[in-house]
Amino acid sequence: GFWKSITESDYLTFKLVHAVQVSTPEIADAIRPYNPNVQVFSNALDALPLPRSENQPKQHQGLKIFFGALNRENDWKPLIDGLNQVFRDDPDFWSVAVVHDRKFYDSLDLPDQQKSFLGLCAYRDYISVMAQCDICFMPLADIRFNRMKSDLKAVEAGAHGLALLASNVVYQKSLVDGETGALFDDVEGLQQHLRSWKQDPSQVQRLGEQARAWVSSSRLASHQVAERYLWYQHICGQRQKLTDQIFERVPELVQLCS
């Protein structure tokens, strides 16, 4: 519904294919009225990166937060004042690395040397900046568009051993608060996590290690091989039936193909 080209074509993007593969059950439910042959495979990584100790030793003091996002202003704006309150209590302890969102970077009440900015960039550069941080900040407001999102960023950051500081929206379905991540509903919950970590930074390392273990045990592409193989076999075996369904969904094709 976000892309006019899809809605204006009456969802031919989905009607004209045999099957659709998506990353969340919510997206599957949204697409199923236009094509019932939908399968969900959660986003996963091809491989687990090297642990931080082997890959990129920590080069900074205090704790460093990663924030990389597109079109997230409405998600972080209600939280920015509370975030800055925590930063002002000890600006030398906190630092933030921002990718793409210049407004977020400009809104941070931190000295210039305690924050960095990288514009829209290649994926490898995005991951490189992320991997140098301790915490991944992932706020999402409770709106329909956000509820369709996957937890991919948590998987990416967790794989690099970052502590996952995330909204309950989306992330409560895959993260366990206090074990594989730190979840919050509002600015007070966000501040509580950060102030607790300021008092005991070892909590951040522990959460990062447990997030990495979560990715290692359940969110690698290798975990999906058998299920994917069976589904691809299934749809290939029903190719003619699925082709007939396309003609039923888009009867105009009958004349074009005759």
| pLDDT tens for the chain, residues 1 to 258 | 888 999 999 999 999 999 999 999 999 999 999 999 999 999 999 999 988 765 555 556 799 999 999 889 999 999 999 999 999 999 999 999 999 999 999 999 999 999 999 999 999 999 999 999 999 999 999 999 999 999 999 999 999 999 999 999 999 999 999 999 999 999 999 999 999 999 999 999 999 999 999 999 999 999 999 999 999 999 999 999 999 999 999 998 887 776
Say what the pLDDT of residue 2 is. Answer: 82
What type of residue sits at position 213? A
Say what the pLDDT of residue 1 is. Answer: 81
Say what the pLDDT of residue 3 is. Answer: 86
Q: What is the pTM of this model?
A: 0.92
Say what the pLDDT of residue 61 is. Answer: 79
Say what the pLDDT of residue 149 is. Answer: 95
Per-residue tokens: 107: 């809104």
Say what the pLDDT of residue 142 is. Answer: 96
- Sequence-separated (6 or more) residues with CB below 8 Å from residue 3: none
